[in-house]
Amino acid sequence: MGTARWDPTDWGAYAASTAGKTTDAVFASRGIDKDLNPFGVAVRESRDSDLNPESTAIIVGLDVTGSMGMIADALARKGLGTMVEEILARKPVSDPHILCMGIGDVLYDRAPLQVTQFEADIRIAKQLEKLWLEKGGGGNSCESYNLPWYFAAMHTAIDCFEKRGKKGYLFTVGDEEPPPNLPAAAVARFLGSRPQRDFDSRELLTLVGRMYHVFHVIVEEGSHARHDPRGVRNRWTELLGQRVIGLSDHTKLAEVIVSAIEVNEGRDRDKVVKSWSKKTALVVQRAVGGLGPARGGSAGVVRF
């Protein structure tokens, strides 16, 4: 997928159509949409095309539990257009193909993973609004942020990596801690494949890191992150090191993602921060202040 090209006019019309609507009106699904259900999906593809000859796969996984629907809402109304248009203008990577995910909890939720196609045009916005904001989760202090890692590693095929040896990007976004493992029973129930054993989160991170630069964005406005900010940060840092991003204003998610990609691709961090307006620059500075560029060909692979 991802054969078309982004048109700002299409985005402007789409964004205008969401103005004044409630979150429930924009995200009208009351169950998982068949087009976003990952069960039985063999592969989601990001392929080069005439309009996108050097595609770059970018996955954004959004926590849709509890009050985290505000993240999807902000992305659908404004952030998605900002993200794509700034990447096209700044060119930290070429020809972005965006895939969005909805993330829940495999122990408690009916739909702990929802997956769009990789798209390069307005179709990604229309698929994003199909997400079911289940608002579930449980009392286990974590959501299944490692399920997108498994899906990306085992069920995506991306030309940027296969043809050019260049990794894609994977951002998970939420306010809770990482889970310690991914049960094989959960993979079988929600994806349809049948692994022989449970997966440790560190093992999954190493696996997905072969193809993707992996980041986690902590939504600091979320209730869990506000209750235990140090604990959430420390547990993520144990896994991802510097690729843990604190988001102090959820409406600036797009700008933070673009900035993280720029810095990871080797651009000067201070210049990236200063390229944004004053209020946005403060959020970006807090988010990427500890981030450095990827290191050679081994970037994205976590060593233990």
Report the mean per-residue pLDDT for the chain: 94
Q: Residues 112-118: what's their mean pLDDT? A: 98
Specify the length of the chain in residues: 304
Work out the percent of the chain whose per-residue pLDDT is above 90: 93
Reduce the DSSP state of residue 263 to 3 states and report it: helix
Tokens of 259: 């900035």
Average pLDDT over residues 33-58: 97
Q: Which domains does the chain have, with CATH numbers?
A: 8-298 (3.40.50.410)
* pLDDT-based confidence at residue 296 (cuts at 50, 70, 90): low
**Token pair for 183:** 């049960």
Both tokens assigned to 185 = 């029973």
Give me the torsion for CA of 17, 35, 66, 121, rounded to 10°: -40
Cβ–Cβ < 8 Å for 176, 232: yes
Contacts 24+ apart (CB under 8 A), 190-197: 190/38, 190/39, 190/106, 190/111, 190/112, 190/113, 190/147, 191/38, 191/39, 191/40, 191/41, 191/113, 191/150, 191/151, 191/155, 192/39, 192/40, 192/41, 193/154
pLDDT at 1: 64
Query: What pLDDT score does 4 carry?
Result: 87
| pLDDT at residue 33 is higher than 50 | yes
Reported confidence tier of residue 229, pLDDT bands at 50, 70, 90: very high
Instruction: Kindly tell me if the per-residue pLDDT of 147 is higher than 80.
Output: yes
Indicate if the pLDDT at residue 301 is higher than 50.
Answer: no
User: Does 9 have pLDDT greater than 50?
Assistant: yes
| pLDDT tens readout for residues 174-224 | 999 999 999 999 999 999 999 999 999 999 999 999 999 999 999 999 988
- Tell me the whole-structure pTM to 2 decimals: 0.96
pLDDT for 60 equals 98
Band of residue 304 on the pLDDT scale cut at 50, 70, 90: very low
Q: Determine the pLDDT at residue 141.
A: 87
Mean pLDDT of 102-106: 97
What is the pLDDT, as a whole number, of residue 297? 41
Going by C-beta distance under 8 Å and a sequence separation of 6 or more, which residues neighbour residue 275? Answer: 90, 281
Q: Name the β-bridge partners of 57.
A: 97
